[in-house]
Structure 1
Amino acid sequence: MASGAATVIRRCQLYVPGSSMRFLEKSRSLTVDSVAYDLEDSVTPLKKPEGRANILAVLNKDRVPGIREQAVRINPVSSGLALDDLTEILKGKNLDCLVVPKVDRPSDLHFVTDVLRQKLPERHAPGSTNPVKIVALVESARSLMDLNSICQASPYLSGLGFAAEDFSLDLSITRTPGLNEFTYARSAIVTAARAFEIPSALDLVSTTFRGEEGRKFLQDESENGKRFGFNGKQCIHPDQVSVVQDVFSPSQQETEWAVRIVIADKKADAQGRGAWTLDGKMIDVPVVGKAKAIVAKAELCGMDVKALQEKFKDEEPK
C-alpha cells in the first residue's frame, strides 16, 4: 500500500493551483493531511494543458513526509474536460485521490470509476487495497436531492465536500457569517456520509483568514463545522492549515477522556458489566464506541496515546 494512502484522515484538504509551479513546489514543504492539486476553478481554460503537465510532474516526484494524501481536483464530468485530465494525471505514480467537482448525479461518478478501472486496472481489481479514492463535491440543489444515489455510485467514494459558493449561486443564497442559510445542505451532507460509511465529510471553504481577526473567524467557523459533524474542512491558503487541522483533531482533554473510558470498559467487560459510570456519568455501548473512535483518530493525528494509556492504566469502572 502506498505511503500516505493507507488510512483516510482529511482534517484539511488544501487546494493548490495546478497552473503555478511555484505554488505546487511550495506545497511540498507543508504539513497537511491532503493536498488537492487543482485543475478546475483556479486554472483558466488556456492553462489546463500546462496545469496537467505541472501536476503530473509533481505526482511523479518522491513523496514528502508532511503530506499524507496527494489528490487532484479534476474538471467536472459535464465540462467535457475530465477525460483529458484523467488521461494525464492517472500516469502519476503517487496519486492517492481524485476530487470530483459538481457531482450532480450518480453517472458522474460512474464515469470516473470506469476510467479508473480502465486506466489503472491493477489498483482497481476486486480486492485491491490501494485504489485511487474519490471525494465528491456537492455544489447544487440537484446534487443534494440525489445524495442517496451518489453515495452508492462508486466503491472508491471516500469523501463528500460542500462547495458553498456554487451552491449559493445555484439557489440564489446570500452567504452570511453564521452560515444559517446552509443548515439543511450541511446537515444532509454529514448525514449521508455517516449513513453510507464514507470516511470524510469536508466543510465549506473559509474565505476569511488574514490577521488576528481572520484567524479567529476561521477557528470559529471550523468549530461550527465540527459541531455539525464534519470531520474536516476545505482550505484555499496554506495559512489556514494549522488552525483547521488543530480544530479537527481531538483535544488533549477529549483524548484523555476517551483513553480512560476504553481502559475502564475493558475491565467492565471482563466483569460482565454492560453499563457503568465515569465521573458520575453513565457509560454504555454508544459512548464507548465514540471513545474508541477518538482514540483511533488521536493516534492518526500523532498524539502520544501510549503515554496516556500508561497514565490512566489503573482507571476502574464505577
Structure 2
Amino acid sequence: MSTLQDIASKAGCSTATVSRVLNRSGPVSEGMVRRVRKAASDLGYRRTERPAPMIRRRSAIGVLIPSITNPVFAASLLGIQNRMRVSGIGVLIAQSDYDPAREAEAIEYLLSEKPTGLILTVCNPLKSELSLPFAMPPTVLLNNLPTPRFPAAVTTDNRLAGQEITEYLIEHGHRRILFVSGHFDASDRAKLRYDGHCEAMAAAGLPVLDALQIPFVTGHDELDLAEPLKRQRPTAIIASNDLLALGVIGAVRREGLSVPGDMSVVGFDGIAIGRLIDPPLTTVEMPDTSMGATAASLLLDIAENAATPRHLMIGYKLHAGGTVRRLG
C-alpha cells in the first residue's frame, strides 16, 4: 500500500505538502496540487477515512416546575443549577403551568432526553405518579411530600406554616379570615396551607370561610373581590402565595379599601418584590434557593452513591411586614 512518503518522493515535495493537498488543509500552488494528485493516482493511493470521534454526551438531569415566571421556582432553579454546575452536570427544564395534563407531557419530554435523574414539583404526587412509566431514573420531589413510590423529597412544613400565619392574624384580633388560593388540585402545597389555616381557626373556635380558588397563572391583575368581600365580610385575607397576595392587594384597593387600614393581607414565599411594596408584605418566607440546592445534592447522592432515598424538611420564617393591622 502506498504511503504519504511514497507520494512525496514521486511528486518531489515534502510529506507535509502531500498531507495539505490530500486533506485540503492548507495553501498549496495549483501546480503542486496537480503533481501530488497525479503521483497519488499513479501509485494507486487510497485514502483511509478515519471514523469520526465519538462525542461524549454530557450528563444532565431533568427538572419540572409549575411556572418559570414565578420567582419561587426561579430561585429553586438557581439552587439546582449552581449545585449541578459544580459537578459538571447539565439541567433540562420543563414547566407544567399548574396543569396535570401538561405535567405528564413535560415529564415525558424530560424522560425522552434520558436524564440521569429527575427533580419534580408536581400538582399532586399521588395522582401524578399514576401517569408515569414504571421505569424511572432516580427522582426527588421538591415541595411535594414523599410517596411510597417516590420517598426522596425536599419540603417545608406547609401545613404548619398555614397554621402559624393564621394564628398570627388571630393574635392581631382578626376573626373572619378569607383564604384566597389557586386551585387546590393544581397545588398540594396550597391545599396544605389551607388545611393548616382551617386547623388554627377551629382550634380558636372561629368560623372557617370557604376558600376562594382562582387560576394560579393568569388574572391576578384583574382579580375581582367585590362579591366575596361583601358576602363573607373578612377583616383579613391570606393568599396562598406572594404573587397572589399582590393581586389581592390590588383588588382590595380597587374596591376603595386600604391595606392594612381596612383589610389585612398576608402571603407565603417571601419573594423580593413583596419587600419593595408600600407597606412591605407580611409573609411566610420559604427557603426556595436552599431547597433547590438540597434537592440537587440529594439526587446526586442517590444517583452516584446509591444512598437511601429520604425526606428532608427545611425550616421557614414568618416575616412581619406592614400589611397586617391590629384590631381592637
What is the TM-score normalised by the length of structure 1? 0.29
Q: Please identify the structure whose Cα radius of gyration is greater.
A: 2
